[in-house]
Structure 1
Amino acid sequence: MGEAANLTGIWQGLYSYPHALAPVAFTATLLDSGWLSGSIHEIAVGEDYVPVQVFATILGRHEGGAVQFTKTYDGSKADWSHAVHYAGALSEDATEIQGQWSIPGVWSGKFLMIRPGGPRATVLREAFETV
């Protein structure tokens, strides 16, 4: 992977909680134009553990193999408008981003994002089916 790896496109992702909550699947649409921007759509756990559809924006950057961005929920559902920080590493073939997410002072967990055509896309698709 060189410096010119471009992350623009649709990515499928999964993030896990540090507790016994089920992992959450999401779809991210990224635009890599010097800055990393885009949006995320996910079905998260709302009040009383009822699934709720939420949307967020992304703003960050990637430099070489390091990817960092902040996901900010838009507040349209479940009154979520908080920010979540993501820091991860891009795979050599630029088809996966793996790392940690955190809400400072609250909690953190792991995440994985895969381009649909990447070699592990089938593995992630199977993980989505179990969520």
Structure 2
Amino acid sequence: MNDPRDLSGVWYGRYFAISWGVPENGFIAHLEEEGGVVTGTITEPDDTGTADIRRAFADGSRSGSALEFTKQYDPTGPLAHSVAYVGTVSDDGTEVTGEWRFSGYHGSFVMNREIFRAEELDEEAAVDEDLVIELDEPQPDR
């Protein structure tokens, strides 16, 4: 049986600063998990004004519902530092909540994803197929 908390996939999130007046920021994380090892990339809007987006690499681990990873910003960019994240994955694997820390600064984060069951996708494909068949059928003259 597959673990629903496997982090592989696309996550949409927000992080919030508790320790200084920087507003929240959004991000998209593309994560892969294999044997509890978590890697991936994170893209977020650049609120420093030096670029449109910032890129970072994620590297960490998950054991049960416990997640730890380091977000390392692109070392060639203006924010060449790393941020430590610790979080908890929900039982259904659709949400992670936790905290981040960097050089005395800290805050919280949340990230979500939508998971589609195979049965739901099959049902949606069947409905789409029915619509195509209906559209292909000759229509009576009016």
TM-score, normalized by length of structure 1? 0.78
Report if aligned partners of 1:3, 1:64 keep a CA contact under 8 Å in 2.
no
Partner of 2:63: 63
Bigger strand share? 1
Structure 1 residue 117: Cα displacement: 4.6
Asked which structure has the greater RCO (Cα within 8 Å, sep 6+), the reply is 1
1:38 pairs with 29, 37, 40, which one? 40
Structure 1 residue 97: Cα displacement: 0.3
Partner of 2:82: 83
CA deviations 1:2-57 (Å, max 9, x no partner) are 982311000001001123321000000000012100000001321xxx37311000
Q: Which secondary structure does the structure 1 equivalent of 2:46 belong to? A: strand
Q: Alpha carbon RMSD of aligned pairs, Å?
A: 2.0
Partner of 2:113: 115
User: In percent, how many aligned pairs have the same letter?
Assistant: 31
Structure 2 regions of 5+ residues with no counterpart?
A: 117-142
Q: State the alpha-carbon separation in 2 of the partners of residues 76 and 11 from structure 1.
A: 25
Partner of 2:99: 100
Please say which structure displays the higher CA radius of gyration: 2
What amino acid is aligned across from residue 31 of structure 1 in structure 2?
E
Q: State the alpha-carbon separation in 1 of the partners of residues 70 and 111 from structure 2.
A: 15
Q: Work out the number of aligned pairs and report it.
A: 112
Structure 1 residue 116: Cα displacement: 3.6
Q: Quick one: structure 1 residues 67 and 3, their matched pair in 2 at CA, closer, same or farther if it must change by over 3 Å?
A: farther
Structure 1 regions of 5+ residues with no counterpart?
A: 119-131
After TM superposition, the runs of 4+ consecutive aligned structure 1 residues lying more than 2 A away are: 2-5
Report if aligned partners of 1:73, 1:83 keep a CA contact under 8 Å in 2.
yes
